[in-house]
A and B are shown apart, each in its own frame.
Chain A
Amino acid sequence: MSALSANTDGLRRRRAVNRLMEAIATAAAFAAVVVLGIMVVSVARRGGAAIDLNLFTKTPHPFSFTNQPSGLANAFVGTAVIVGIATAMAVPVGVLSAIYLNEFARARVAFLIALALDVLNGVPAIVVGIFVFALIVVHHGQSALAGSFALSILMIPLIARATQEVLALVPQATREGSLALGVSRWRTTLGVVLPQTIGAIVTGTTLAVARVAGETAPLLFTSSIVGDRLQWNPHLALASVPLKIFEYSESPDPADHARAWAAALVLISFVLVASITARALAARSRRRMGLHR
């Protein structure tokens, strides 16, 4: 008993260091949660009051300092259209590149592609914006499509990496079982490998959507010269929530400030809900992946 409780090998000091480090790590983790909490609360306090039906159904009133109903319907529609088209562009490319990366590429090529995806993931959004500006906007003018293209570039690495990580978890024995039947590689991938990764694809896509829905810089170059009319046509430049927040933050009208906070609250709520949904979906698909129960 005494041998176990005695202060041998600096036990007391080691125990103290252990406690201290544990406390620092815990504090750091809580700090992240606290920052998020303060942000959500402050945005909610300032924007909460301005959230009403008009915000979603009315377009901006042409005059400031008026009591006429005014809203950001055009910005919500624009963001939905731009992000929707970006998702439609990014999902096939992201999933197919993940399939190539994990199922077909040789080790050296796979390493290079994985590296390229990680670098692409780190490219600042404004660089992507200016790239699409030079590539498309200079010749064809601004449009929601150009904005979608810019956002899809940001989404592809997120979707590809999320998909690839789960493809790598599919046991090789599953592939061998199919290949041993004389089924081709592609049919094997499509028939027995990919179905196990649907959850991950949905999760990765949801996180990517949440990430780009608030992107401002790429849209500044590609879809920012807009009127206040409600538009659905992706060939035109469409308004977007993040740019409207930016615009209203500079308005002289306090009601516009409130609307900017409200839009920010909607955006942050969307990101929170999307992230939580994505985590739940990921947890579910991982449970399913936990083969053989």
Chain B
Amino acid sequence: MATAVTIQPERRVDLTPQATLPPPERRETVFDIRGLTARYGGVPAISDVSMEIYENLVTAVIGPSGCGKSTFIRCLNRMNDLVPAFRAEGEILYHGLDLHGPGIDPVAVRRRIGMVFQKPNPFPKSIYDNVAFGLRALGMKDGLDGRVEHALTQAALWDEVKGRLKMSALELSGGQQQRLCIARAIAVEPDVVLLDEPASALDPIATSSIEDLMHELKRDYTFVIVTHNMQQAARVADMTAFFSLSPAGEDGRRSGMLVEYDATQKIFTTPADRRTEDYVTGRFG
């Protein structure tokens, strides 16, 4: 695996990922989401979302603030279970298995489906222990040093930290911390990595290095990324889902909904829905 990630100071908004987008019949479905409605304390945050997410592709979820992007992505590894008032309806089939089905342990779900958060959240431990913690907890202790090095290398952080693995992770810069969180997530070898606005707290150079990472790593992983940055979606994603707020219902409440989901190129050049077009051309949101 090529590891030297070059940072291009001026990235054009190109649509290169489409070159790798396989035709629909050759895409492997990882998530088959059917009629997903998610509520906090009875109030729906997203309503009736149905879409498929494909293997070894980067799928972006874009849309204005408050349209339920984060709620949606946190459903995919049952992270919302931690919120007491949260309820989900509908089905999320992961390789055909309903994630909310009986006997499904959320711990086992998160073991396969990792997550990187908006704000870098390294543990207050050394750089080494940040990556090793999950490996130790999950019993992947054989060749621990090698696994840590491999994960840090994959996250393009190894060269920057190899001499100071014992240093506290909190002393790293924000961009390094976020790459450490990615290393931590991929060290335990998940199938899917969910990224919830992973670059929103980072400067453009750090953002760029994380986008390059996703290009590199999607051969091994399936990525789902929430972003409010359309250029980012255009740069990294093969498929893009546009979420927006539904018109006010009878009770005057609005909830998030999936407006359009298609190849990124299509979403950004010839969207089928007027609302998508308004959003991606900057007329709304």
Footprint of B on A, CB under 8 Å?
Answer: 106-107, 171-185, 187, 191-192, 195-196, 288, 291-293
Contact = CB atoms under 8 A, between A and B. Distances in A.
A174 to B, nearest CB: 6
B121 interface: yes
Contacts of B84: 106-107
Contacts of A187: 137
A161 to B, nearest CB: 23
B121 A171 contact: yes
Contact of A196 (B82, B124, B138): B124
Contacts of B185: 180-181
Contacts of A177: 117, 121-123, 181, 184
Contacts, number: 83
B110 A181 contact: yes
B111 interface: yes
Nearest to B116: A180
A191 B137 contact: yes
Main secondary structure of the interface of A (DSSP, over half): helix
17 contacts: A173-B117, A174-B121, A174-B123, A176-B79, A176-B82, A180-B77, A180-B79, A181-B184, A182-B114, A182-B138, A183-B133, A183-B137, A184-B137, A191-B133, A191-B137, A192-B123, A288-B124
A183 B110 CA distance: 8
Contacts of B117: 173, 176-177, 180
A181 B188 contact: yes
B253 interface: no
Interface string B76-118: 0101001010000000000000000000000111111011110
Interface residues of B, number: 31
Contacts of B137: 178, 181, 183-184, 187, 191
10 tightest Cβ-Cβ pairs between the two chains A and B:
A182-B111, A181-B134, A180-B115, A173-B121, A182-B110, A177-B121, A183-B137, A192-B123, A187-B137, A184-B107
A32 to B, nearest CB: 36
B226 to A, nearest CB: 14
Contacts of B124: 174, 192, 195-196, 288, 291
B119 interface: yes
Given A177-B122, A181-B188, A182-B114, 6 more contacts: A173-B119, A173-B121, A176-B115, A182-B111, A195-B124, A291-B170
A180 B188 CA distance: 11
Contacts of A181: 110-111, 114, 133-134, 137-138, 184-185, 188
A99 B117 CA distance: 25
A106 B181 CA distance: 29
A289 to B, nearest CB: 8
Given A173-B121, A192-B133, A293-B170, A183 B115 contact: no
B79 A179 contact: yes
Nearest to B136: A191
B84 to A, nearest CB: 7
Contacts of A171: 121
B133 A180 contact: no
B170 A182 contact: no
Contacts of B121: 171, 173-174, 176-177
Interface string B179-190: 001001100101
B115 A178 contact: no
A187 B110 CA distance: 14
Contacts of A288: 124
A179 B107 CA distance: 7
A276 B194 CA distance: 47
Contacts of A180: 77, 79, 110, 114-117, 185
